[in-house]
Amino acid sequence: MSFAWAKTYEPQTGFTKWIDEKLPLPRLVYNAIGAGYPVPRNLNYMWNFGVLAGFCLVLQIVTGVILAMHYAANTEVAFATTEHIMRNVNSGWLMRYAHANGASFFFIVIYLHIFRGLYYSSYKAPREMIWLLGVVIFLLMMATAFMGYVLPWGQMSFWGAKVITGLFGAIPLVGESLQIWLVGGFAPDNAALNRFFSLHFLLPFVIAGVVILHIWALHIPGSSNPTGIEVKQESDTVPFHPYYTAKDGFGLGVFLIAFTFMVFFLPNMLGHPDNYIEANPLSTPALIVPEWYFLPFYAILRAFTDDLTIPFTSIVLVQAKLLGVIAMFGSILVWFILPWLDKSPVRSGHYRPMFKKFFWFGFIPCMIVLFICGGAPAEQPYVLLSQIATAYYFLHFLVILPIVSQIEVPKPLPYSITEAVLGDKDVPGGTDGGGDDPRAAVKGLPGKSPDDGSLQPAE
């Protein structure tokens, strides 16, 4: 699908014509990320992170496949082969540091991508399916990253595996059996390490598959944009290539500067020194913390310190440990119903004054507090702070967003993307680079009057 004015692929040479008849793969690429995909002309740099996330996935798969050529998933040698990669394998240190920091950068990029989705309400109709698939990708990424961190079989690897698999033990009735089944023993050992390696190799390709669905779903309504109003006319869009290939290319350059700086100068900054000590099942590190990208969720897990009881009795309804597990998984699963919680017809946070206040002064500080508390020892004031922030997190999604979307009076929206970009001051020969006033040249969509109001609902 595409807009009516999308350019069509026209093979030029005999060979490309022959290919196009047998397997129109070049046509697919042309329509997906080439000149055949019209994209809103007003995308800002927050729209770079989808392409960057795709780059990170490829980077992780390439470096990961290389590391797997030198690594052995056996508790006897896993730690040693990791050191072998660092010391003996040609450029092994580079591959491993690129892979370890690549995981961190993948999460940075994904978090900014999710941030963009939350601020500009990219999850709203008609783009719910893109958002839902994105949440699936995020869950798969978390599982993949967790299992990858276990592979070097250092202290943090082992104890991280023990704590995270221990979460399943909190499930009533079947928890303990489930945990033993998942780990293949009574504690993480060779069986666990091997299956984690196997799944860590498999899941990125599953992610790649869901990414294809994610992009497919995106190309049905087309990209959203910072105004949140839909594309109405040809002058609202530019072809993806060369306009956004160039813009994304610039973003990729900036990303690579930051990434290579970390790989070459601060390769261990985001890791834990304890993971350079080989796993020891009889000795727990003083402070077990997950990788930085899991800290907010770890804070939610640890925020529950008391059992849920029937008031004024000591009858326990849900144990504290299970509450923490439910809340931690719930904090991400709540994203699955987000498109139906936020009913405001206006998408972009720019035009939603009340939403904007709660977002910047409520949600963002809440995430920062959770991030800090997740890495702090389990003592006051961090416990209380993480409890308050956890409560706010769920309030934001389950109470504040639905209420705000009912009572908020949005600011007036521009008539079109073109108007939002060029404004009323635009004159022929003005900033759009063309000779004619684009508003005079625009053609309305069939069946729609060009004056159908300034407030365009999402549906």
Sites of contact with another protein (CB under 8 A): 159, 162-163, 166-167, 180-182, 184-187, 189, 191, 195, 281-284, 286-288, 302, 304-305, 307, 319-321, 378-379
Q: What is the Cα–Cα distance from 63 to 101, expressed in whole angstroms?
A: 11
DSSP conformation letters of 21-65: HH--HHHHHHHHHSTTSEEETT--GGGGHHHHHHHHHHHHHHHHH
Name the catalytic one among 230, 236, 291, 419. Answer: 291
Q: To the nearest whole angstrom, how small is the minimum distance from the Cβ of residue 184 to another protein? A: 6
70 in catalytic set: no
Nearer to another protein, 328 or 422 (CB): 328
Name the catalytic one among 157, 223, 224, 348. Answer: 223
Q: To the nearest whole angstrom, how small is the minimum distance from the Cβ of residue 272 to another protein? A: 15
Query: Which contiguous run of DSSP H or E holds residue 216?
Result: helix 190-219
- Listed in order, strand segments (DSSP E) in 286-398 are 308-309, 316-318
Contacts of 188 (CB under 8 A, 6+ apart): 150, 158, 161, 162, 165
Nearer to another protein, 67 or 325 (CB): 325
Token duo for residue 182 = 């998942």
For the chain, how many residues are written?
A: 459
Residue 226 in contact with residue 347, Cβ under 8 Å?
no
Nearer to another protein, 184 or 221 (CB): 184
247 in catalytic set: yes
Q: What is the Cα–Cα distance from 347 to 396, expressed in whole angstroms?
A: 17
Q: To the nearest whole angstrom, how small is the minimum distance from the Cβ of residue 284 to another protein? A: 4
Name the catalytic one among 248, 342, 419, 432. Answer: 248
Token duo for residue 449 = 């009057």
272 in catalytic set: no
Residue 122 in contact with residue 114, Cβ under 8 Å?
no
307 in catalytic set: no
| 456, 333, 130, 405: CA torsion to nearest 10 | 0
DSSP H helical segments within 376-436, as ranges?
A: 382-395, 401-407, 417-422
Cα–Cα separations (whole angstroms), residue 450 to 270, 399, 437: 53, 37, 16
283 in catalytic set: no
Nearer to another protein, 298 or 351 (CB): 298
Nearer to another protein, 88 or 283 (CB): 283
> How many other β-carbons are positioned within 10 Å of the β-carbon of residue 395?
15
Nearer to another protein, 241 or 321 (CB): 321
What single-letter amino acid sits at 403? Answer: I
Name the catalytic one among 113, 124, 200, 247. Answer: 247
Q: To the nearest whole angstrom, how small is the minimum distance from the Cβ of residue 395 to another protein? A: 23
Name the catalytic one among 7, 84, 219, 343. Answer: 219
Q: To the nearest whole angstrom, how small is the minimum distance from the Cβ of residue 254 to another protein? A: 39
Q: To the nearest whole angstrom, how small is the minimum distance from the Cβ of residue 303 to another protein? A: 10
For the annotated catalytic residues, the residue numbers are 219, 223, 247-248, 291
